[in-house]
Amino acid sequence: MVGIDFGKPLFTSEEIQRKIHELGARISTDYADKDLLVVGVLKGALFFMSDLLRSLRISVRMDFIHSTSSASQDREHPVHIIADMKEDIKGKHVLLVEDIIDSGLTIDFLKRMLADRGPASLKVCVLLDKPGRRQVQIEADYAGFRIPNKYVVGYGLDYKERYRNLPYIAVLPLEERQTP
């Protein structure tokens, strides 16, 4: 990309696609006889969810929830819902798709919120798992890559709404985080 060079990607576009196909095969097998609703967490999961849906060998429905994390990382109110999903999930099999589990606060909050709506099942699929920053005990049912405690961007992950469009995932250099 013009003006953006982070050197060697943490995960190339090809590595990401291979991992997504692996996840898609597992999910397709696990939900072969179920009616699945895939719920993406905006904005970060958009690229991942789009490619994941195309890799599934089963028919699914989709919806989105738009949330934002609290700047204070308040455990009582870690997430603000900007736009809720449209589907009623009572009695349905739901797969919540997120770009990354970092502190775990967002996924934990969303999972508890959705569980209260009475789905038949509720599982979580993430592209990246960063256990080094976990503040709550939560694990994804389907996880792509485990990463070190580094700030990453690309493929939907951002820094101040920038870099989401990178076709790979890279560690954001400290000097990039210090620019206005």
- What six digits make up the tokens of 52? 């994941």
128 phi-psi bin (left φ>0, alpha ψ -120 to 50, beta other):
beta
If one compares 80 and 27, the residue with the highest pLDDT of the two is: 27
Biggest alpha carbon–alpha carbon distance for the chain: 50
- pLDDT band, very low/low/confident/very high, at 1 (cuts 50, 70, 90): very low
pLDDT above 50: residue 107 = yes
Where in the sequence numbering do the catalytic residues fall? 102
If one compares 78 and 153, the residue with the highest pLDDT of the two is: 153
pLDDT above 50: residue 155 = yes
**16-32 per-position pLDDT tens digit:** 999 999 999 999 999 99
Handedness of CA 84, 87, 88, 94 (dihedral sign): negative
